[in-house]
C-alpha cells in the first residue's frame, strides 16, 4: 500500500502520517495507492483507481454534520445514557469512524476513544484536525490508537459508561452510498485485525463495574446474558448492563 499525495499538499502532516503507517508517499497515482491526501485531507479507497467504496471522514457534512448541530434531538441516545446532572465520562471501546462519539461530544460529554486499526485511527485523526477549529468540544475528546481493553484495564480514569458498537455480523449497517462498511472491512482484513468482537465484549462484561452500553441491530438475539434493560430505536437497540 502507498499514499498518493497530490503535489500541492505534501506537508508535515502527511509526512508524519506516512511515517507512522510505515508507507511510502508518491505523487503518481497507481493501483497501490489506497490512501490519498489532497485538499479533502486523508481518504481511503478500496479500489485505488475507482471511486467506489471510498471513505473520507468529514464530521461537518452529511447526516452526522446535521445531527451534531442538533444534540437536543438525540432522544434515543439521551435515554440510553440515562439522566445525570453532571456530564459523563464515556469510554468508547470501538470508535471506528467516530460517529457515535461525535454525538456524545456534541451533547457535552467527555470521551476517551481507543481504535485498534492504525489506518482508521489516521483517517479519523485527520478529520479531527480539520474539524477542530470549528468544533470546540473536540477538546473533550482523547483519541488514540491501541487495543481498547488493554487501555481500559491500565487506565487510571474513572469512567461512567463503557460504549461498545461491534461490527454487526451480517453487515446490515451497509452504507452503500459511501461504501464505508466495505472500506472498514477491507482495512481490518489488510491489517489482520479482528472484526469479530465477541471476545472484546465478553472481556468488558466480565470486568463489569460500570454501566456498559452495547449497540445491536434491533432484531438481533440477546447475545449475552444479564441485560438490565434495553432502549429500542427504529433499526438499532441498546442493551444496557449495569
Ligand X SMILES: C[S@@+](CC[C@H](N)C(=O)[O-])C[C@H]1O[C@@H](n2cnc3c(N)ncnc32)[C@H](O)[C@@H]1O
Q: What are phi and psi of 234, to 5 degrees?
A: -70, -40
Under rule CB under 6 A, which residues in 11-40 are in contact with ligand X? Answer: none
Return the DSSP state at 196.
Answer: -
197 binds ligand X (CB under 6 A): yes
Q: Is 114 in the site for ligand X (CB under 6 A)?
A: yes
- Choice between 2 and 148, CB closer to ligand X: 148
The sheet that has 110-115: what strands, in order across it?
141-145, 110-115, 89-92, 161-164, 211-217, 236-241, 229-232
Asked whether position 200 contacts ligand X by CB under 6 A, the answer is yes
Residue position matching grid coordinates 470546540: 136
Name the CA dihedral angle for 131, 132, 136, 138, rounded to a multiple of 10 degrees.
90
The least CB distance from residue 100 to ligand X, in Å, is: 4
Calculate helix-pair angle for 180-190, 118-131, nearest 10 degrees: 130
Instruction: Name the burial class of residue 170, with classes exposed (0-12), middle (13-18) and buried (19+) by CB atoms within 10 angstroms of its CB.
Output: exposed
d(CA 167, CA 198): 10
Binding piece for ligand X, criterion CB under 6 A, among 27-35, 98-106, 125-133, 204-212: 98-106
What Rg, from alpha-carbon coordinates, does the chain have?
Answer: 18
Q: Is there binding between residue 44 and ligand X (CB under 6 A)?
A: no
Stretch that binds ligand X, among 10-18, 41-49, 75-83, 160-168 (CB under 6 A): 160-168
Q: Which of 98, 105, 111, 183 binds ligand X (CB under 6 A)?
A: 98
Q: Is 239 in the site for ligand X (CB under 6 A)?
A: no
The residue from 32, 147, 169, 217 that contacts ligand X (CB under 6 A) is: 147
The answer to whether 182 contacts ligand X (rule: CB under 6 A) is: no
- Which of 188, 201, 212, 231 forms a contact with ligand X (CB under 6 A)? 188
Q: How far is the CB of 21 from ligand X (least distance, A)?
A: 15
Contact indicator for 125, 196 with CB cutoff of 8 Å:
no
- List the beta bridge partners of residue 114: 144
Stretch that binds ligand X, among 4-12, 104-112, 142-150, 152-160 (CB under 6 A): 142-150
Closest contact distance (angstroms) between CB of 8 and ligand X is 30
Residues at the contact surface with ligand X, assessed by CB under 6 A: 94-100, 114-117, 120, 147-149, 165-167, 184, 188, 193, 197, 200
Amino acid at each position: 500500500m502507498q499514499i498518493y499525495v497530490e503535489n500541492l499538499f505534501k506537508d508535515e502532516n502527511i509526512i508524519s502520517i506516512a511515517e507512522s503507517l510505515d508507507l511510502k508517499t508518491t505523487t503518481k497515482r497507481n493501483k497501490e495507492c489506497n490512501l490519498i491526501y489532497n485538499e479533502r485531507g486523508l481518504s481511503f479507497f478500496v479500489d485505488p483507481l475507482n471511486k467506489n467504496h471510498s471513505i473520507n471522514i468529514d464530521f461537518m457534512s452529511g447526516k452526522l454534520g446535521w445531527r451534531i448541530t442538533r444534540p437536543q434531538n438525540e432522544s434515543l441516545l439521551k435515554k440510553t445514557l440515562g439522566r445525570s446532572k453532571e456530564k459523563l465520562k464515556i469510554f468508547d471501546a470501538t470508535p471506528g469512524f467516530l460517529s457515535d462519539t461525535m454525538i456524545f461530544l456534541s451533547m457535552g460529554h467527555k470521551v476517551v476513544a481507543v481504535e485498534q486499526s492504525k489506518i482508521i485511527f489516521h483517517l479519523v485523526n485527520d478529520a479531527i484536525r480539520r474539524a477542530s477549529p470549528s468544533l470546540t468540544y473536540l477538546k473533550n475528546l482523547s483519541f488514540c490508537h491501541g487495543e481498547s481493553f488493554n487501555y481500559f484495564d491500565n487506565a487510571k480514569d474513572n469512567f461512567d459508561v463503557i460504549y461498545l458498537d461491534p461490527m454487526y455480523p451480517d453487515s446490515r449497517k451497509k452504507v452503500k452510498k459511501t461504501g464505508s462498511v466495505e472500506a472498514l472491512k477491507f482495512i481490518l482484513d489488510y491489517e489482520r485485525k479482528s472484526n469479530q468482537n465477541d471476545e472484546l465484549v465478553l472481556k468488558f462484561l466480565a470486568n463489569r463495574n460500570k454501566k456498559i452500553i452495547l449497540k445491536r441491530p434491533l432484531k438481533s438475539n440477546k447475545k449475552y446474558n444479564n441485560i438490565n434493560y434495553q432502549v429500542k430505536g427504529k433499526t438499532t437497540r441498546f442493551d444496557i448492563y449495569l
